[in-house]
């Protein structure tokens, strides 16, 4: 249960209302975390903008980004985000075995060595913020520097969302 009251679009400040109406039009629903974050419209807008960049098209496959989102969400105990990103992974045509494998992580047989290298970055930076030199060097074998920055950006954004959602009671 949310620890913060939920603001409906009709009750929201103008900028939050525009965001909520846009989300309603785009997705057919405004999820409760957005209604809670509507208390701070500028924060909501910035978070959604950052998320659009992190999870949108880039050098890293958008479906695999959802795998990373699932993995971090599991590690952070964010059931809301785990469920949401599992559905989104399915929408991106991620195989069911990889969606389930994301819950197990880099030790899962569902992933190749390249994917495991990214999952290890996710696991280490989610658990302890620090990434070992060995894991970073392993990632370098499979990814360009730009791709590593993108991977770490995706991982950082989902960790921020997980902390918000768990802290606010979602």
Say which CATH number the domain at 85 has.
Answer: 1.20.1290.10
Identify the pLDDT of residue 2.
86
Q: How far apart are the first and last CA of the chain?
A: 6
Tell me whether residue 155 is in a domain.
yes
Where are the alpha helices (H) located in the chain, listed in sequence order? Answer: 14-27, 32-37, 41-55, 62-75, 79-91, 96-104, 113-128, 133-142, 145-168
Please enumerate in sequence order all residues whose Cβ is within 8 A of that of 92, keeping only pairs 6 or more positions apart, or say none.
62, 63, 66
22 and 99 belong to one structural domain = no
Predicted local distance difference test score (pLDDT) of residue 83:
97
Distance between CA atoms of residues 93 and 90, nearest Å: 5
Q: Based on the domain organization, do 129 and 98 belong to the same domain? A: yes
DSSP secondary-structure letter at 12?
S
CA dist 119 and 139 (Å) reads: 10
Residue 106 included in any domain: yes
Do 67 and 119 have their domain in common? yes
Q: Are residues 117 and 145 in the same domain?
A: yes
Residue 77 lies in a domain: yes
pLDDT in single tens digits along all 170 residues of the chain: 789 999 999 999 999 999 999 999 998 999 999 999 999 999 999 999 999 999 999 999 999 999 999 999 999 999 999 999 999 999 999 999 999 999 999 999 999 999 999 999 999 999 999 999 999 999 999 999 999 999 999 999 999 999 999 999 99
Number of domains in the chain: 2
Q: What is the CATH number of the domain that holds 15?
A: 1.20.5
Q: Which domain holds residue 40?
A: 9-55
Distance CA 82, CA 102 (A): 10
Same domain, 79 and 49: no
- pLDDT attached to residue 1: 78
């Amino acid at each position: 249960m949310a620890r913060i009251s939920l603001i409906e679009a009709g009750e929201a400040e103008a900028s939050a209302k525009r965001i909520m109406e846009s989300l309603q039009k785009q997705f057919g629903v405004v999820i409760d975390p957005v209604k809670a974050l509507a208390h701070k419209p500028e924060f909501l807008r910035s978070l959604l903008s950052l998320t659009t960049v992190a999870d949108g098209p880039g050098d890293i496959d958008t479906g695999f980004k959802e795998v990373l989102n699932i993995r971090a969400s599991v590690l952070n105990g964010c059931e809301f985000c785990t469920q949401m990103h599992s559905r989104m992974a399915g929408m991106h045509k991620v195989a069911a075995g990889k969606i389930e494998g994301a819950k197990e992580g880099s030790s899962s047989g569902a992933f190749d060595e390249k994917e495991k290298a990214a999952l290890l970055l996710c696991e280490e930076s989610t658990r302890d913020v620090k990434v070992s030199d060995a894991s970073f060097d392993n990632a370098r074998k499979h990814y360009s520097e730009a791709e590593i920055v993108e991977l770490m950006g995706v991982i950082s954004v989902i960790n921020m969302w997980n902390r918000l959602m768990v802290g606010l009671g979602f």
